[in-house]
């Protein structure tokens, strides 16, 4: 019996999923069709090759895509860099090479009758084929693909076009994508980066690379919090089933209090609060599912920003460079909200209000860079495929606009509440149901479980 599995998107999720299915394919002949809108497999936006040496924010010893072989990525790196260590933070482009090699190796060793076809193009629509048993995947410029099952591995959506940016998308001083910023700024220029998370750190550091001629950089975000630094810690230092936290999941205030108490105990014993964050991170999907909706909303309003800076950390050398930039006065971090951007010739005047103040202030900059992060709200999506699937009722969003509603194994939940047996989602918008679903370790596990389900739907993975 022949079947076709289409994977839309060939970044981390699509490539790792394809490799898993190639290793453990369904019975009978199988064609895996991997469709990528970009120009390369395995890279996506996160691991694309850039002139700037963007660095992974997780050490090499914790980035294997092989669940039973935690040093798989490190061994790949040591083929060309024998001195690499498990605690090293390596270039993201190197991880893209690793993902390509993982997929190539899985293809080379796949059983007879199992093939991988790579297609470059943008999927614009998915609908029922004639007869209703297959899905028809539309790729302009290519023949439609008839699929038994389709997996959406679309990666992170782009940032929202915020009210203050409307009408400015083509202004020479506004950069909606933080990855399209020219490296031509000097010390006589001023730049505003909107957002203060990991993307802001990447952009700020990239602006400081040209011989020390760094522009004056400001950041504005709601809380003005910066990601904290990584350390060498023991990821498995805190053990247990977490029942004491899970039993408190009716109140986010209670969960937070118990988490702080646990951190204090660990640090008094010579440990690191990062060990507690890692422990909570593994419990996060269960915690999220148990929290009532109002408590989830309370978390998003009051706690998420603080969780993010503790959870999504930067390598020590990057944290030190950011600290130096702040102490030298070349980086100024503000907490507040932007009211408006007003064009003034080639510059933009920023009208904003500090957190806790009712007074508006302003300053002019040579560039404004949007680093506010992905917009997960499906109703605002600019992706033609997502828009068409939502309009057809084949996918639906959660009530908090965190992503795509899914059932077991990432099965897409339709507008009528039914879980699809043919359309699946794999990627960061799993956060709607799992919260922690943005990093490689979590997504690797989701990819493995989905691959096993695709290979044998009648026997769920243990």
The candidate with the shortest Cα–Cα distance to 187, out of 320, 319, 325, 52, is 325
Q: Who contacts 383 (Cβ-Cβ below 8 Å, separation ≥6)?
A: 154, 157
Alpha-helical segments (H) within 371-439: 384-391, 431-434
Distance of CA 228 to the CA centre of its chain: 18
Separation between Cα atoms, residue 447 and residue 99, nearest integer Å: 14
Annotate 283-320 with b (16+ C-beta within 10 A) or e (fewer).
bbbbbbebbeeebbebbeeeeebebbbbbbbbbeebbe
Alpha-helical segments (H) within 158-315: 198-207, 243-246, 252-268, 273-290, 293-298, 304-311
pTM (2 decimals)?
0.93
Separation between Cα atoms, residue 32 and residue 133, nearest integer Å: 18
Same topology for domains 3-54+91-158+375-455 and 163-228+314-370, yes or no?
yes
Work out the number of other CB atoms within 10 angstroms of the CB of residue 172.
Answer: 13
CB 135 within 8 A of CB 129: yes
Q: Where are the domains of the chain?
A: 3-54+91-158+375-455, 163-228+314-370, 243-308
Residue 216: C-alpha distances to residues 137, 333, 403 (Å): 48, 11, 36
Separation between Cα atoms, residue 312 and residue 326, nearest integer Å: 20
Fold adopted by 3-54+91-158+375-455: FAD/NAD(P)-binding domain (3.50.50)
Tell me which CATH code domain 163-228+314-370 carries.
3.50.50.60
Q: Per-residue confidence of the chain (462 residues) as pLDDT tens digits?
A: 799 999 999 999 999 999 999 999 998 899 999 999 988 999 888 888 777 778 999 999 999 999 889 999 999 999 999 999 999 999 999 999 999 999 999 999 999 999 999 999 999 999 988 777 899 999 998 889 999 999 999 999 999 999 999 999 999 999 999 988 877 788 899 999 999 999 999 999 998 875 567 899 999 999 999 999 999 998 889 999 899 999 988 999 999 999 999 999 999 999 999 999 999 999 999 999 999 999 999 999 999 999 999 999 999 999 999 999 999 999 999 999 999 999 999 999 999 999 999 999 999 999 999 999 999 999 999 999 999 999 999 999 999 999 999 999 999 999 999 999 999 999 999 999 999 998 888 999 999 999 999 998 776 554
Side-chain half-sphere CA neighbours of 157 within 13 A: 24
Q: What are phi and psi of 171, to 5 degrees?
A: -70, 135
Separation between Cα atoms, residue 95 and residue 118, nearest integer Å: 20
Residue 35: C-alpha distances to residues 124, 310, 378 (Å): 11, 35, 21
Separation between Cα atoms, residue 59 and residue 74, nearest integer Å: 9
């Amino acid at each position: 019996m022949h079947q076709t599995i289409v994977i839309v998107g060939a970044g981390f999720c699509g490539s790792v999923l394809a490799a898993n299915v190639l290793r453990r394919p369904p019975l009978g002949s199988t064609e895996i069709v991997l469709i990528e809108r970009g120009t390369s497999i395995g890279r996506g936006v996160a691991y694309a090759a850039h002139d700037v040496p963007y660095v992974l924010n997780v050490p090499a010893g914790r980035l294997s895509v092989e669940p039973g072989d935690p040093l798989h990525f490190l061994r790949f790196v040591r083929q060309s860099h024998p001195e690499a260590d498990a605690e090293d933070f390596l270039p993201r482009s190197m991880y893209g090479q690793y993902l390509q090699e993982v997929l190539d190796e899985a293809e080379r060793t796949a059983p007879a009758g199992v093939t991988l076809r790579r297609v470059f193009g943008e999927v614009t629509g998915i609908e029922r084929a004639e007869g209703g048993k297959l899905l028809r995947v539309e790729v302009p410029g290519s023949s439609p693909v008839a699929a038994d099952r389709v997996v959406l591995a679309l990666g992170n959506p782009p940032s929202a076009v915020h009210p203050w940016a409307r009408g400015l998308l083509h202004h020479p001083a506004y950069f909606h994508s933080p990855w399209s910023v020219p490296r031509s700024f000097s010390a006589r220029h001023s730049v505003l980066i909107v957002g203060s998370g990991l993307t802001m750190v990447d952009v700020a550091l990239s602006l400081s690379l040209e011989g020390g001629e760094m522009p004056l950089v400001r950041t504005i975000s709601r809380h003005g919090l910066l990601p904290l630094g990584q350390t060498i810690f023991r990821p498995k230092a805190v053990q247990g089933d977490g029942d004491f936290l899970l039993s408190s999941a009716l109140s986010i205030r209670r969960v937070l209090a118990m988490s702080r108490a646990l951190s204090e105990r660990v640090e008094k014993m010579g440990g690191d609060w990062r060990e507690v964050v890692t422990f909570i991170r593994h419990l996060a999907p269960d915690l999220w599912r148990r929290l009532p909706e109002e408590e989830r909303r309370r978390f998003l309003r009051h706690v998420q920003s603080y969780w993010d800076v503790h959870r999504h950390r930067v390598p020590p050398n990057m944290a030190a460079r950011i600290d130096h930039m702040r102490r030298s006065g070349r980086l100024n971090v503000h907490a507040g909200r932007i009211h408006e951007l007003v064009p003034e010739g080639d510059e933009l005047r920023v009208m904003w209000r500090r957190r806790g103040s009712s007074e508006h202030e302003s300053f002019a900059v040579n560039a404004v860079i949007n680093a506010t992060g992905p917009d997960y709200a499906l109703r605002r999506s600019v992706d033609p495929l997502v828009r068409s699937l939502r309009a057809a009722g084949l996918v639906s969003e959660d009530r908090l606009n965190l992503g795509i509603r899914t059932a077991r194994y990432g099965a897409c939940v339709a507008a009528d509440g039914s879980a699809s047996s043919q359309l699946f989602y794999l990627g960061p918008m799993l956060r709607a149901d799992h919260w922690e679903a943005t990093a490689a370790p979590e997504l690797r596990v989701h990819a493995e479980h989905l691959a096993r389900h695709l290979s044998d739907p009648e026997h769920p993975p243990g």
